[in-house]
Amino acid sequence: MKIGITCPYSWDVPGGVQQHVRDLAEALIDEGHEVSVISPADDDTPLPPYVTGAGRAVPVPYNGSVARLSFGFLSTNRVRRWIKDGGFDVLHVHEPEIPSLSLLACWVASGPIVATFHTAIPRSRILLVTYPVVRTGLEKINGRIAVSEAARTTLVEHIGGDAVVIPNGVATRRYRKADPLPGWPGPGGAIGFLGRLDEPRKGLPVLLKAFEVLGPRRPGLRLLVAGPAADPEEVLHKVPAELRDRVVLLGQVSEEDKARVLHSVDVFCSPNTGGESFGIVTAEAMAAGVPIVASDIEAFRQVLRGGEAGELFATGDAADLARAAGRLLDDPARRAGLSATALAAVADYDWSVVARGVLSVYETVVLGRTQVAVIASGSEFS
């Protein structure tokens, strides 16, 4: 199948949507499909062979912050040419409610169009999708995908119609092998954490409390903490002074380093207290084969197969976490068992599986329709 995918945000800026588009495109290519992606990108950015640059994105205020987007008639012309040259069987636009390439693609194209909605749209933006120019574009979409139940709910309630939920995949290959950071995990063992440090729902305070129990009893044990924070010093100050040099903060890490962090610890901890719909970080840790201790929230129970693929502890309970993590650290055989189960379980969430779900949406919308084409210039509003 010939597939054209549009990405609304700059390829050279890290972000969830860009990552999703890249993983999906590569998974589809692996399945033997012909994929072309168009994305805003700086001219000097090296792009993968399947990506067409649509020119530099322009920083503009949007929704109270500055976003880098592609708009205007030059971008429109580039998208039009890309569609014309592509001869796609299906056009897959991401985030078409954002004023960027995907919306432009909906506007100039005719034929089978699939759209993926990534975010739950804030209420203030809902009004805007009723503008005729936007509605005309959105009405051309034949199949809609939401990446989460929350995204689907806003779609159903505020734009109307329905969407199938196909969650993000996990690029398991990317996490399977990586070199540990130098000196890790170390002879005394190490516990890892990934996520925003100052977002209480990510649960770092629970892990730090547990470390107050574990640390004094296990003199060599260290914590490896990766993720952004407004004020990392403040986070460190919550740790008792005598344990502070055993808590290592890495700050925000790149995708590559994320895999290395996961391979640098004996036990990975997901202490989230809620607010997770899937737990992508936990799934990535599973893909790395690191034994996991996670809070007993619905999302984790599901991905960890009710505790078969990772140890669960009572949500928010630092003492229970300390007990569970301690048990794991003392039992290499149990760790190896959890790791093997997790590796098998996470295969269900691999991008190759997700891509097959997306493909079946493509196959449904192309039935009985012709190829994607460009509608005559100037008649966009008809």
Partner 1 sequence: MIPDIVIVIAAALFIGVYVSWRAGRIDRLHARVEMARAALDVTLLRRSSVALELATSGLLDPATSLLLASAVHGTRDSASTGRPRDLAESDLTRALRAAFSQPDFRASLSGKEGADELLAEVEAAAHQVFLARKFYNDVVAATREARRRPLARILRLSGRARAPEFFEMDDSLIAESSGAPIGK
Contact of 116 with 354, CB cutoff 8 Å: no
Q: Sheet with 164-165: list strands edge to edge.
A: 51-53, 34-39, 2-6, 90-94, 113-117, 143-146, 164-165
How far, in Å, are 13, 97, 132, 140, 299 from residue 120 at the CA level? 21, 11, 21, 21, 18
Minimum CB distance to partner 1, residue 96 (Å): 10
Nearer to partner 1, 68 or 263 (CB): 68
Query: Is 105 or 312 the residue whose CB approaches partner 1 more closely?
Result: 105
Choose between 285 and 372: whose C-beta lies nearer to partner 1.
372
Cβ-based nearer residue to partner 1, 61 or 160: 61
Q: Which residues pair with 248 in a beta bridge?
A: 224
Nearer to partner 1, 155 or 226 (CB): 155
CB 149: neighbour CB atoms within 10 A? 12
The interaxial angle of helices 351-366 and 16-30, nearest 10 deg, is 80
Shortest Å, Cβ 70 to partner 1: 7
Nearer to partner 1, 42 or 212 (CB): 42
For residue 81, how many other CB atoms are within 10 A of its CB?
15
**Torsion region of 9: left, alpha or beta (phi above 0 gives left; psi -120 to 50 gives alpha):** beta
Rounded CA-CA distance 319/322 in Å is 5
Least gap, CB of 43 to partner 1 (angstroms): 15
Query: How far apart, in whole angstroms, are the C-alpha atoms of residue 184 and residue 290?
Result: 13
Least distance from partner 1 to the Cβ atom of residue 50, Å: 23
**At its nearest, how many Å lie between partner 1 and the CB of residue 375?**
13
One-letter amino acid at 149 equals E
Nearer to partner 1, 254 or 382 (CB): 382
Q: Using an 8 Å Cβ cutoff, are 224 and 250 in contact? A: yes
CA separation for the pair 243, 145 (Å, rounded): 47
Min CB(129)–partner 1 separation in Å: 8
Distance of closest approach, residue 362 Cβ to partner 1, in angstroms? 24
Nearest residue (CB) to partner 1, 100 versus 282: 100
Cβ-based nearer residue to partner 1, 101 or 338: 101
- Give the shortest CB-33-to-partner 1 separation in angstroms: 28
The residues of the shown chain that bind partner 1, judged by CB under 8 A, are 58, 60-64, 69-76, 99-101, 103-104, 106-107, 124-125, 127-128, 131-134, 136-137, 381
Q: How far is the CB of 298 from partner 1 (least distance, A)?
A: 32
CA gap 118, 38 in Å, rounded: 18
- Closest contact distance (angstroms) between CB of 82 and partner 1 is 15
C-beta closer to partner 1: residue 136 or 277: 136
